[in-house]
Amino acid sequence: MAYRTKADFLLWLAVVGLAGWIIPGGGHFLIQQPKRGIVIFVTITLTFCLGLYIGSIGVIDSVGGWAWYLGQMIATPAVRILDGMTRSGTYISRGRPCDLGQIYTAVAGLLNLLSIISAMYMAYSGRGELIGQEDENA
């Protein structure tokens, strides 16, 4: 992909990062890495959903668990919608299930941060091949 200006290139990097945040693995799809994108999507989504299953959506608490909430927000912007649902007080999570659910959902967010950085770096460096894969033109 040829870029006209540096601003176009920076915009492309921002789009890759944003796609990776909105849909885990989405940035890798944009840089022609669908297999990697699928693995990332499945891993992060299952980890996040497992955390919600263990502790209910009550683990998403921007007021009482704001530090965990920051990690959870990196997983997907849908966390903001879930936070709005939990503010009503209907979904309460306490004890060990809450702790484990917060850990799983925050870890999913941090994994997504790593995948966003990976996609943006791969887009920046112009390489879309898998690590360790030989260049066919060499």
The span from the CA of 35 to the CA of 37, in Å, is 5
Mean predicted confidence (pLDDT) in 67-95: 83
Q: Is residue 83 part of a domain?
A: yes
Task: Give, as one character, the DSSP assignment of residue 5.
Answer: S
Mean predicted confidence (pLDDT) in 23-38: 92
Mean predicted confidence (pLDDT) in 70-88: 87
| Residue 32 tokens, joined | 């022609």
Instruction: Count the domains in the chain.
Output: 1
Q: Is residue 14 part of a domain?
A: yes
Q: Is residue 130 part of a domain?
A: no
Least Cα distance to 45 among 68, 18, 24 occurs for 24
- Which pLDDT score is estimated for 1? 52
45 or 3, higher pLDDT: 45
Q: Is residue 1 part of a domain?
A: no
Say if residue 18's pLDDT is above 70: yes
pLDDT digits (tens, 9 = 90+) for 107-129: 999 999 999 999 999 988 876 54
Say if residue 106's pLDDT is above 80: yes
Q: Is residue 2 part of a domain?
A: no
Mean predicted confidence (pLDDT) in 13-40: 92
Mean predicted confidence (pLDDT) in 22-40: 93
Q: Is residue 95 part of a domain?
A: yes
Q: Is residue 132 part of a domain?
A: no
Domain ranges, residue 114: 7-125
pTM of the model: 0.80
- Which pLDDT score is estimated for 130? 40
Q: Is residue 69 part of a domain?
A: yes
DSSP notation for 79-137 = HHHHHHHHTTS-S---HHHHHHHHHHHHHHHHHHHHHHHHHHHHHHHT--SPTTPPPTT
- Which pLDDT score is estimated for 2? 56
Confidence of residue 25 (pLDDT cuts 50, 70, 90): very high
- Which pLDDT score is estimated for 66? 85
